[in-house]
Amino acid sequence: MDERLKDFHLRIQKIGHVDREVNRGIEFVLVIEGELTIETSSRIYQMKEKDLLVINRNELFEMKGNKENSVLRFTISDLYMEQSYKDYRYQWFECFSQNIDIGREALMDQLRTLFGEMVITFYRKDDIYTIEMQRIVSEILLILIRRFKEEGNALGQLDTEDDRLVQLIDYMERHYQEQMTLEQMAHMLYMSPGYLSRYFKRKMGVGFSRFLMDVRLRHSVKDLLYTTDSIASIAMNNGFPNTKSFTSLFKEIYEETPKIYRERHKKENVNIDKTANIKGVETITNSSSIFLQLGSMLAETNKTYSNTETRFEELRIDVSVPSSDKITRPDHVLIVRELKELLKEDIREQVLTVKENLRLSYIGIQNLVSNATFLPTVETDEAIATSSPYFKADMAINFLKKHDLAIFSRVSYQDISVDEASYFKKLEEFLRHCLQVFGEYYVSKWHVLFYESYFTAVEPKELCRMYKKLYSSIKKIVPGIHIGVYLPFSYKEEKTSNRHTWILQEDDRIDFIGFHANQNEVIDFEETSNDRFLLAKDYIKEKTNKVKYFLKQHHIDKPLHLVTWNTLSGNTRYTNGTFFRGALVLKSAWDISNDVDSLAFWINTELHEVDDQYHRIQLEGMELFHYFNGKRPAFYAMSFAEKLSGSIVAQGPDFIMTEYERGYQLVLMNCINVNPYFSIEDAFLKKLNKDIRVIIEGLKPGEYQVRKYTYDKDNGALYTNWWNLGSKHGVDIEIAEYIHRLSHPSLQIFDETIDGDWSFYSYLTINAIHFFDIRKSYV
């Protein structure tokens, strides 16, 4: 191997028998073909194809394999590890592919892929292969250290440069079953017993006798797990003077007796000697068959593996099978905070834009009788007052009624409790006024949601009392109004809080249930590992299902309204802008379209941020517009959902296909849940792109016009153009309007003659949406 790679040792071998030896450095063992058994001082590993194991430094091991095996072994020297990682001697790496925690499977696939790249790189030996090898080793070690490290032991801290100490430890590991004394070892090493005792304690951190007992204990655990030998036999076979001393030490370390430990952790019996069919080790050099086996294994292990950074997938769709699945569309709620906001011309324009493009049904108001909307009551001696405290509210509601938009109001406990008597008086007077002015038919379309957060100091009885009073006060005036309650719900515990269990007893007085779902809830943004962010995958759908199941268990069947929600976004405005998430929004909304009656959105960033005194971007809502009327990802993502029409003929995790009167529609998505902070690193994001070959069977033959809309970070993303055209001197209206003209999904037109299967490729960047409108031509 090149001198620059002297600390690495890569070999592919057929292994018959590797006699007991103490490992120096860190060794990775990957079984490419066949079977291999590795016995260490404490465990027996029966490995099959694709299994990966790490053998730690100073760990005694023995290997036996069958005649058909081929094994990749890669060792990194102690010197390299100690220079690269200062805590190396104090860590132990527990990494065996059959024994990983749930959620780590992707990491094992990543390690296997890296070793596949390593073999190809090593045997190709191009002009930069040493640099590439160092990169791969670094990636492997980062995974190992960040995700598989555990607290080490005295054996791991052994100084391998100390020849006398190494000789002594090796002897103890090989002869632990025999009677052994400090005096005997001192004589063997030509040292005095007193000096050896002090020397050993200083170097290893424990005394000679205790270290020897620990070695014997580790080997005895293996016998407990893998044999049926009696406790007494195990004690004697591992060098303990009697069963009592063995049991006493075992209980001290493992906090239970050997018998109970065996019952709790028993493994399948293994006769390691029977696995050895050939002797020695045969090193394989540059075998084409090994490359084929390795490539086949990696293709099966990691479907996205290729020699490029981009994932490649093939998608087959058969539209010839009739389908009766219909598209379900929940109503949309657009939150504007207060009625008075609807008096602003720019807000009205945004509302009408949403109404035209996204089928808007409700306008969300946070406090229906806010003092900010109502004018002060003026005393007058007029028989009929010419002034009204509801003047601004009437103008806003007139706008809503004209455009067939109802009110969806959130009323919190705090809104009412500040002055309960005054609140109910204002509410009842306002409702009677609205009945008089706008009519019962229109007002009956309204929804009122009683809200109190999960963490509250208010007693359950008090919350229940207030809700009942709100319910009866409104119903006696407008019986048709829908009165509901917000259900705080823990995703992890799958229940509501103790202070909200009263909701489960008020079924008769509840018309609907509101709830909250936010992928950011399950993420700690201080955590930077990739696998942690996989928890956000399908979170909104899963939480919705959990809420439904919880209510069903309590015999409650009410319409569900998702009143606040968000996809994975980050917790700063910076990551909110850099991390494109169009596909996450569309998929999340589509996944629950059959389960909820409405989805809520915030109208824009400006109004949404007002609620926070520090003006930090909030996480509990989807804004449709940014400053200067720019459209955010949620707007365009939901507009693609609205474009879909007809019947669903096929769908999967990342695609939807429909047939409608003019032809077919297909939506492709590249949904990626990843740490938003990584979105500033283009090199990393390229690994998450997807090159997909689509093959559609059963299309009706003929001439088609294909319209392809691309919505990704480069086509339609507001922030991309904002950065490109931004300036330290600020952005004025002219620049903002130009940015908005650029910030639209791109459109391409293709003419296609289809006769049989139709195939094409589509390259999707992270969280991109590709929308195909495949229109039949009649010309």
pLDDT per residue as tens digits for the range 19-72: 878 788 899 999 998 999 998 877 889 999 999 999 998 888 889 998 788 999
**Average pLDDT for residues 680-698, to the nearest whole number?**
76
Alpha helices in 592-717, H assignment, sequence order: 605-610, 633-643, 682-686
Please, what is the angle between helix 105-124 and helix 288-301, to 10°?
Answer: 160
Which CATH number belongs to the domain containing residue 228 in this structure?
1.10.10.60
> Would you state the torsion angle of the CA atoms of residues 576, 582, 583, 585, taken in this order, to the nearest 10 degrees?
70
> Would you state the torsion angle of the CA atoms of residues 6, 11, 17, 21, taken in this order, to the nearest 10 degrees?
20
Exposure string for 581-610, b = 16+ CB within 10 A, e = fewer: bbbbbbbbbbbbeeebbbbbbbbbbbbbbe
Which CATH number belongs to the domain containing residue 457 in this structure?
3.20.20.80
Is the residue at 464 inside a domain? yes
Which of residues 603, 621, 638 is at a domain's end? Answer: 638
Q: Are residues 190 and 225 in the same domain?
A: yes
What's the one-letter identity of residue 553?
Q
Say if residue 4's pLDDT is above 50.
yes
Q: Are residues 418 and 542 in the same domain?
A: yes
| Residue among 261, 60, 93 at smallest CA distance from 170 | 60
Say if residue 769's pLDDT is above 90.
yes
Q: Are residues 102 and 206 in the same domain?
A: no
| Residue among 334, 326, 325, 327 at smallest CA distance from 598 | 334
Q: Are residues 360 and 463 in the same domain?
A: yes
pLDDT band with cut points at 50, 70 and 90 for residue 302: very low
pLDDT band with cut points at 50, 70 and 90 for residue 743: confident
Is the residue at 221 inside a domain? yes
Say if residue 679's pLDDT is above 90.
no
Place of tokens 């809200």: 451
Please, what is the angle between helix 391-402 and helix 420-438, to 10°?
Answer: 50
pLDDT per residue as tens digits for the range 591-612: 999 999 999 999 986 666 655 4
169 CB-near residues (< 8 Å, 6+ apart):
22, 58, 155, 158
At 303 the pLDDT is 41
Mean pLDDT of the chain: 84
Q: Are 375 and 403 in contact (CB under 8 A)?
A: no
Q: Are residues 169 and 268 in the same domain?
A: yes
pLDDT per residue as tens digits for the range 113-135: 889 888 878 877 878 889 989 99
Place of tokens 């995700």: 147
Which CATH number belongs to the domain containing residue 149 in this structure?
2.60.120.280
> Does residue 473 sit in helix, strand or coil?
helix
More confident site: 273 or 419: 419
Q: Are residues 241 and 118 in the same domain?
A: no
**Average pLDDT for residues 480-485, to the nearest whole number?**
97
Determine how many CB atoms are found less than 10 A away from the CB of residue 296.
13
Q: Are residues 176 and 50 in the same domain?
A: no
At 118 the pLDDT is 87
Task: Compute and round to an integer the Cα radius of gyration of the chain.
Answer: 34
Q: Are residues 572 and 441 in the same domain?
A: yes
At 617 the pLDDT is 38
Say if residue 306's pLDDT is above 50.
no
Say if residue 386's pLDDT is above 70.
no
**Calpha distance 677→685 (Å, rounded):** 11
Look up residue 252 and give its two tokens: 């001290």
Say if residue 404's pLDDT is above 70.
yes
What is the percent of the chain where pLDDT is above 90?
Answer: 42
Q: Are residues 264 and 145 in the same domain?
A: no
**Average pLDDT for residues 375-392, to the nearest whole number?**
62
pLDDT per residue as tens digits for the range 252-293: 888 888 888 888 777 655 554 444 444 567 777 656 567 667
At 309 the pLDDT is 44
Counting the structural domains of the chain, the total is 3
**Average pLDDT for residues 755-770, to the nearest whole number?**
89
Range of the domain at 91: 3-155
More confident site: 464 or 255: 464
At 631 the pLDDT is 87
What's the one-letter identity of residue 452?
E
> Does residue 536 sit in helix, strand or coil?
helix
Which of residues 128, 155, 182 is at a domain's end? Answer: 155
Say if residue 367's pLDDT is above 60.
yes
Say if residue 479's pLDDT is above 60.
yes
pLDDT per residue as tens digits for the range 612-627: 443 343 445 688 988 6
Which of residues 212, 241, 274 is at a domain's end? Answer: 274
Is the residue at 286 inside a domain? no
More confident site: 643 or 270: 643
State pTM to two decimals: 0.61
pLDDT band with cut points at 50, 70 and 90 for residue 488: very high
Is the residue at 655 inside a domain? no
Beta pairing partners, 317: 696
Q: Are residues 77 and 187 in the same domain?
A: no
**Calpha distance 179→459 (Å, rounded):** 70
More confident site: 274 or 188: 188
pLDDT band with cut points at 50, 70 and 90 for residue 357: very high
At 514 the pLDDT is 97
What 292-301 contacts at long range (C-beta under 8 Å, 24+ apart), as own/partner pairs, is 293/32, 293/33, 293/70, 294/32, 294/72, 294/116, 294/119, 295/116, 297/32, 297/49, 297/50, 297/112, 297/116, 298/112, 298/113, 298/116, 300/50, 301/50, 301/109, 301/112, 301/113
Is the residue at 652 inside a domain? no
| Residue among 517, 426, 406 at smallest CA distance from 473 | 426
Place of tokens 């036999």: 233
At 423 the pLDDT is 94
Is the residue at 668 inside a domain? no
CA 562 to each of CA 134, 174, 515, 521, 540: distance values in angstroms, whole numbers, following the listed order: 49, 65, 5, 15, 10
What is the percent of the chain where pLDDT is above 70?
Answer: 83
pLDDT per residue as tens digits for the range 436-451: 999 999 999 999 999 9
Say if residue 161's pLDDT is above 90.
no
Determine how many CB atoms are found less than 10 A away from the CB of residue 67.
11
Q: Are residues 402 and 528 in the same domain?
A: yes
**Calpha distance 580→586 (Å, rounded):** 12
Is the residue at 17 inside a domain? yes
Is the residue at 651 inside a domain? no
Q: Are residues 466 and 613 in the same domain?
A: yes
pLDDT band with cut points at 50, 70 and 90 for residue 305: very low
